[in-house]
Structure 1
Amino acid sequence: MGHLEYDWELPIVRSRLLDLAKSFTLVRYDARGNGLSDWDVGDVSFDAWVRDMETVVDAAGLDRFPLLGLSQGCAISIAYAARHPDRVSRLILYGGFATGFNKRKNVTAAERDRWVAMKTLMKLGWGSDDATFRQLFTSSMMPTATREQADVFNEMQRLSASPDCAVRYLDAVSDFDVRHLLPQVQAPTLVMHVRDDLRVPIGLGRELAAGIPNARFVALPGKNHIMLPQDPGVAQFSNELKAFVKATG
């Protein structure tokens, strides 16, 4: 059974990929602007990322398949599922959101100031040998990481994108808004989210599930946006995903 995952990945979660690959044929790719995909691209945007997914699916020869989206990849996956209901057999969303930061209501002035400051620090500190800034970002993504895991993630950030690409990526994601696409998703959908996610509050995951017809929502224990091997929700995430994909009807 084919299984496509939209995500940006790192060595820390290799165990999750290996776990999925034991049960499915797993296809994953780096989105444009980061990882092993081209960094120096003119168009870093939501529509470009959706087109890239369409290209990857066709190149991989996938006909009908379950689709897993993680974090910002959820919005891309939702758009693909809405545009291609004949291709997506099941949709699994983890740690996702329908609206990026710029599109969310009730954002305070202080929160906007912190957002601007983070972008400035990203531009100045992302590519530095000093990981001080990247550690701030890491702490919001996985606050319970070990020192070794945090060091790996800090270095991964530096190697995965240039400072300019990182800022452009953040700007594009902050303008995401797929609320109008949620009712158009026809595939059976499972939405999972960590209860105490510091990076993407669980309320945003609940909004996804509420907007997609007949979607099922599962709250997982933990605090990390990027799930680590030692996290309490790892086994439940794996079991829920596998049971959902293998279910009939």
Structure 2
Amino acid sequence: MDSAVYRFGQYVLDADRRRLSHDGQWVDVEPRALEFLCYLVEHRGRVVPEQELRDLMGRGRAVSEVSEAALATLLRMARLAIGDSDTRQQLIRTVRPHGYRFVAQTTVGSTTPAATSGSPAVRTAGEPDHEVIRFCRSVDGTRIAYAVTGEGPPLVKTANWLTHLDLDRTTPMWAHWFDGLTLGRRLVRYDERGCGLSSWDMGSFTLDDLVADLDAVADAVGLDRFPLLGVSQGAAVAVAYAVFRPERVSHLILTSAYARGQQIRADNAAERDAAEVDLNIARAGWRSQDSSFLRYFASQFLADATPAEWDAFAAYQRQTTSVANGLRFLEEFSRIDVSDIADDVTCPTLIIHSRDDARVPVAQALELATLIPDSRLVLLDSRNHLFTADEPAWPTFLTHLHHFLAE
């Protein structure tokens, strides 16, 4: 039976079959985001009120309507799927005060051209044509979003919480990382399960799951052997991957890293109390969105930032995942422990850490350097957990990293 097919630009949307293609290639879109897009296209002759969309997306679910934040995420994903963005709005336009309208010139047909085979891809608005966000499936079926940037030998960065592939290139917290890491390199990065553009339905969340996610990305990109960079929580995953997949990891770089989460490494009652207080403050911030709690949490990542920058950090993190997932990340990573396998790492390892890291004490870097054979430790003058673009530690970090990879 023929179905309603909408063509706009180089995109074809089969609304009945819920399929989107670009130049004959299927575009992998989160199902609810595709439903959102279909509704806007089907009602393109009018402004669709936000409340109507919230009711629509909540229909048939435990809640009668989706939250404002959830709707914003679906809108962003729908825009991304068709090369649009919150700032461009060339296809989906926000109409104040509370509505959206699909404004692209559209033709309606009844057949859909066959898509060619290949990995589904979504172009990132404003990026070069060769850069795409792609999707693969982990061993348990979880959708993982990944991107490849730059040219040259590969460098894979393990996922860590607080990333969003569609936003990171323009976020002050991360933008300079990609500019620096792609110097003469092909950077492969991906969003954690439950985070960014990967599936927010986390399901299982074990260390084995996170290793399998990285394996799926490496397979999808076609990598056999590569250097691996782990940042913050992602460093524990990098250590585990280097142990479980030694044939694939040529070099290991760990920064702002720890082998044991805060609750695991607490050795006495005072440290256990401090770990629980820290976790409770983070929980309170995520649940209440109270600025005082959120600023405290942000200051641990960016100790030298201003209150306005902490607020921007908090706003960004709300875009990366749901409150429920954010709380689960906090709790799971506070209990992660790779200290019993770290001495099985066999590849050359570089550990770089801020001397006065407010989030992860420098003692954790010392522990990793002690545990991992053939490792070297570099301490940099900084108070930030994540190196910022304008501090002297940042170019020093890049120099050490690139020299290490060139060996």
Give the TM-score of the pair, scaled to structure 1. 0.92
3-state SS of paired residue (1:42)? coil
State which of 209, 218, 222 in structure 1 corresponds to 2:369. 209
What RMSD, in angstroms, separates the aligned Cα atoms of the two structures? 1.8
State which of 207, 227, 230 in structure 2 corresponds to 1:69. 230
CA offsets 1:122-174 (integer angstroms, 9 cap, x no match): 44431655433211100111110134432321101111122211111111112
3-state SS of paired residue (2:254)? strand
How far 1:117 sits from its partner (Å)?
A: 4.1
Letter in 1 for 2:157: E
3-state SS of paired residue (1:67)? strand
8 Å contact from structure 1 (residues 44, 168) kept in 2? no
Structure-2 residue corresponding to 1:230: 390
3-state SS of paired residue (1:225)? coil
8 Å contact from structure 1 (residues 194, 223) kept in 2? yes
8 Å contact from structure 1 (residues 127, 158) kept in 2? no
State which of 140, 154, 157 in structure 2 corresponds to 1:2. 154
Aligned pair count reads 246
* 1:93 maps to 2:254: yes
3-state SS of paired residue (2:183)? helix
Work out the percentage of aligned pairs sharing the same amino acid: 39
**Are the structure 2 counterparts of residues 123 and 182 from structure 1 closer, same or farther at C-alpha, using a change threshold of 3 Å?**
closer
**Are the structure 2 counterparts of residues 131 and 36 from structure 1 closer, same or farther at C-alpha, using a change threshold of 3 Å?**
farther
Structure-2 residue corresponding to 1:44: 205
**Are the structure 2 counterparts of residues 128 and 156 from structure 1 closer, same or farther at C-alpha, using a change threshold of 3 Å?**
farther
Please say which of residues 1-10 and 82-91 is displaced more in the overlay: 1-10
State which of 175, 178, 184 in structure 2 corresponds to 1:17. 178
Structure 2: stretches of 5+ with no match in the other structure: 1-152
- Which residues in structure 2 correspond to 1:62-211 (within 5 Å)? 62-109=223-270, 111-126=271-286, 128=288, 130-211=290-371
Q: 2:285 and 2:304 mapped to 1: Cα distance?
A: 23
Q: 2:199 and 2:268 mapped to 1: Cα distance?
A: 33
Letter in 2 for 1:46: L
Structure with greater helix share of residues: 1
3-state SS of paired residue (2:203)? coil
How far 1:189 sits from its partner (Å)?
A: 0.5
* 1:59 maps to 2:211: no
Higher relative contact order (CA 8 A, sep 6+): 1
**Are the structure 2 counterparts of residues 183 and 117 from structure 1 closer, same or farther at C-alpha, using a change threshold of 3 Å?**
closer
Give the TM-score of the pair, scaled to structure 2. 0.57
Q: 1:210 and 1:117 mapped to 2: Cα distance?
A: 29
Structure with greater strand share of residues: 2
CA offsets 1:44-70 (integer angstroms, 9 cap, x no match): 222211111111111111111110000
Q: 1:139 and 1:33 mapped to 2: Cα distance?
A: 24
3-state SS of paired residue (2:396)? helix
Letter in 2 for 1:213: P
